[in-house]
Amino acid sequence: MTLEGLLVVAAALFGVGVYGALSQQTFVMIMMGLELMINGAILAAVALWAMSAGGTPKGQLLAVVAMTVMAVEAAVGFALIVGVYRVRKADMTEKLKRLRG
């Protein structure tokens, strides 16, 4: 288990997340991609904390902050989906074509 290996795994998670966030049409699936990106960030944070930053508690805290971001965005995302679903009866990005230009 090396730092390089950990960072490559983190990058892979982030990359898959990017793919998911950009390729999916369902909001919830897009959110999954976003969560995966943050998952990669958490892994990278802890890896750097353990292997590069000498175990300073700020590294752990950074991971906690990342989880906060994840939780907050999930909550707001779900709320927005509920809102959109209610007015639109739709949950596909393709149907969001009203605003453009």
| Footprint of another protein on 42-101 (CB under 8 A) | 42-88, 91-94, 96, 98-99, 101
Residues 9-38 close enough to bind another protein by CB under 8 A:
9-38
User: To the nearest whole angstrom, how small is the minimum distance from the Cβ of residue 2 to another protein?
Assistant: 9
User: To the nearest whole angstrom, how small is the minimum distance from the Cβ of residue 31 to another protein?
Assistant: 7
Size of the site for another protein (CB under 8 A): 95
User: To the nearest whole angstrom, how small is the minimum distance from the Cβ of residue 43 to another protein?
Assistant: 5
Residue the block writes with tokens 């960030």: 41
29: tokens are 């699936």
Is the Cβ–Cβ distance between 47 and 6 less than 8 Å? yes
Q: Which residues pair with 26 in a beta bridge?
A: 92
Question: Using CA atoms, how far apart are residues 6 and 8, in angstroms rounded to an integer?
Answer: 5
